[in-house]
Structure 1
């Protein structure tokens, strides 16, 4: 009688596929997918800042109304005429979130045409 050879248990390929998949996920997470920032750069922390508009900013409401330090302003050009030369160098706008972008761009163009040297738009940003 000839003895039957025992079949060796085959390695399951599913386990090998799982290991390769896990290694792929590990290297994707651990690897750098984007260029790193400069090592000596430290970002500004805005998490604890107060969410109020700066006191020297022109506030633009959703419906297009303008206000400055809580008082209503008739027009952007009239507002700019009240400022002295030093205040015209850097003018801050605080737009409402729901203000149409076209209105904001038109207002900034009006201010630049009226003599504002730099118009800055103040926004809320959370980068963590």
Structure 2
């Protein structure tokens, strides 16, 4: 007696291609995202008229409305300036900065309502830290 072969069950659709697409999208979004540390406090840049060229530099220093200074996680003025100088020194050891060569730029994100006297008093201390060029972040009208 011959028995017929049992009917083969159809295999379920594979979800591996869908998982691959999801992981490719995840990798794409992770690679294109700009992950930046949060700012230590809110800063409203001053309004200016001009070309509105974006400020770019290796270091960013924050100056709040009430005159508080921050660099990285350092919120105390002396600690922020010391950390800024240490970061510049380590940057120059890696990049090979020289007195005549390209120096790293400092981006200053100062609030529009900070006093000019506070800002002017801060400039010599920043220059002492070794930053001959400072870019002030502004907003075009």
TM-score for both structures, normalised by structure 1: 0.47
TM-score for both structures, normalised by structure 2: 0.43
Higher relative contact order (CA 8 A, sep 6+): 2
Radius of gyration: which is bigger?
1
